[in-house]
Amino acid sequence: MQDHELVERPGKGWSPWKEGAGLANIEAVWWDARVLHFAKLNCSCAFSGSELVGIEHWGYGGDKWTMKKPPVEHPPLPEEFRLERERVREERLARAKAEAKARFLAACQRRQQAKGVSAGCRTAQRGDARLRLSRRNRSISQHLSRTSLA
């Protein structure tokens, strides 16, 4: 294929250009497609076998994408592939959440050490203050209920 065949929309049988990133949309329909990135052309192309099925432009020209319309007999994504993709996505999300929490706790610990406060001391102090406040509120409400009944 030549560069202009990878960058220009072939014409008949293709969807019109749409704004934004579209690889997820292309992969949803053409689930068996492999994506190749062409940095010098500022585009990514999806191939199903040796057939070009999707083009995504990115970079200085703005984000836009198009894909070949699937044939009527195009097979849907098999259930086991969908479940595997979902499992991988959930694992990736759980890993990212755990890493973010670890970074947050490390940053809190560094700040507390810089102030000279031990790691769990401040949260324990907050918990004690909340407990004292709730006890005080409870005693005030009991006092008010006793005085209003009398």
* Cα→Cα distances 138→93, 133, 134, 149, Å: 42, 8, 6, 17
Nearest-angstrom CA–CA distance, 36 and 6: 11
On whether the CB atoms of residues 56 and 43 are closer than 8 A, the answer is yes
Strand partners, 51: 48
* pLDDT for the residue numbered 150: 46
The tens digit of pLDDT for each residue in 21-77 reads 888 888 888 888 899 999 888 889 999 888 899 999 888 778 889 898 888 887 777
Q: What gap in Å lies between CA 22 and CA 54, rounded to an integer?
A: 9
pLDDT digits (tens, 9 = 90+) for 72-131: 887 777 888 888 888 998 999 999 999 999 999 999 888 888 887 654 555 555 555 566
Does the reported pTM lie above 0.85?
Answer: no
